[in-house]
Amino acid sequence: MRLSGAPSAEGFCMPAEFSPHRGTIIIFPERPGSWGYGAEPAQYVFADIIREIARDETAFVIVSDGTEARARAMLAGVANVEIINIPSDDSWARDVAPTFVSDGSAVRGIDWQFNAWGGEYDGLYAHWERDNALASRFCGETGYDFYDAQHFVLEGGSIHSDGEGTVMVTESCLLSKGRNPRLSKQQIEQTLCDYLGAEKVLWLPRGIYNDETNEHVDNVCAFIRPGEVVLAWTDNESDPQYPLSKASLDYLEGETDAKGRRITVHKLPIPNVPVRITAHDLAGYTFEEGEDQREVGERLAASYVNFYFTNGAVLLPQFGGENVQSDERAVRIMSELCPDRRIVPIDAREIIIGGGNIHCITQQIPKGERR
């Protein structure tokens, strides 16, 4: 059922990702401008991720008429998988699936407006109607009431919650001209408080260099527990990422969270060698008119911060090639920071060449009652 009003007025807020899940939403890939060579290489990686999710919770796999048979064949025999046919424009579940809120017992969705990361101003493709309809469709198919927030443009990758009243965003994204240009920073912050139950919003200045989402927060900084974050980092002062990460570090070191705690920042270095589009990658794409196109040599927004918490694991991107040592370093750091979870390295290059990473293709559903 579609609901009006603000969730916070009814005691609902956004739980942290590391809180218990009922399940995870993931959309099986097929868009030829994002996933090369008929999406087959990406589908294998998505299937691996779905199997890992299903070890700990239900994987809700959204398919289309064109991918349903393929998904069912690749996931045959995997327990805890529910396949749901809902049309979409691409596979970024973090941004187009509902954001879920809870009052401690009931769980409801939020249906934000999605405009392909910038609409007519700087959006990444020309048509996004099916993506914008997906959140409400999913809630209807699975029995969740949801709040109508179609008046406000927001993607799930642009927000992180600690589950205790603190929400983290980037100014570069939420204040971009392609989202809510008629609203002031204060009005945007109030909307986040009203819908996510936030008591304080942390505004990081920047995200990851060359991130085509206007620098989503989920690629640069993430809560690992209340009062603690990991921040994408580089010690190389000549790297274009350095001033962006340094600005966010300086900001965080001068801030407290909603409970008044100073924030502990753990540095999680980006790959030592930039991940770039190759000629082989480019040859596999088929771009539509109005769609953002890739170029050989283009630096991708590769970051280990774009991991995902399941109930029992951290699914951690790995980039391979010249970054094997960087990959191993990220595994060591996350193992130390999250000793209560399995650290599962995922070969994620096929995801990053699509434009995002593991966190971008997943959306958690908190544990709780429907309706």
Place of tokens 């392609």: 178
Average pLDDT for the chain: 97
CA distance 15 to 64: 29
Question: At residue 65, does pLDDT exceed 90?
Answer: yes
The reported pTM is 0.97
| Tally of CA atoms within 13 A in the half-sphere of 62 that contains its CB | 30
Q: Which one of 13, 173, 338, 360 is the catalytic residue?
A: 360
Question: At residue 371, does pLDDT exceed 80?
Answer: no
Percent of the chain surpassing pLDDT 90: 97
pLDDT of residue 129: 98
More reliable by pLDDT, 63 or 371? 63
pLDDT in tens, 240-289: 999 999 999 999 999 999 999 999 999 999 999 999 999 999 999 999 98
Domain spans, the chain: 2-370
Percent of the chain surpassing pLDDT 70: 100
Contact by Cβ (8 Å): 221, 251:
no
Strands 200-204, 166-170: pairing is parallel
CATH 3.40.640.10 fits 2-370, yes or no: no
pLDDT in tens, 320-340: 999 999 999 999 999 999 999
CA distance 282 to 23: 34
Average pLDDT of the segment spanning 46-65: 98
Q: Is 193 a catalytic residue?
A: no
Radius of gyration for the alpha carbons in the chain, expressed in angstroms and rounded = 19
pLDDT in tens, 20-54: 999 999 999 999 999 999 999 999 999 999 999 99
pLDDT of residue 292: 87
Please state, as a whole number, how many other Cβ atoms lie within 10 Å of the Cβ of residue 237.
8
What DSSP line would sit under 98-163, residue for residue? PEEEESSSEEEEEEEE--TTTHHHH-SSS--HHHHHHHHHHHHHHT--EEEEEEEE--GGG-EE-S
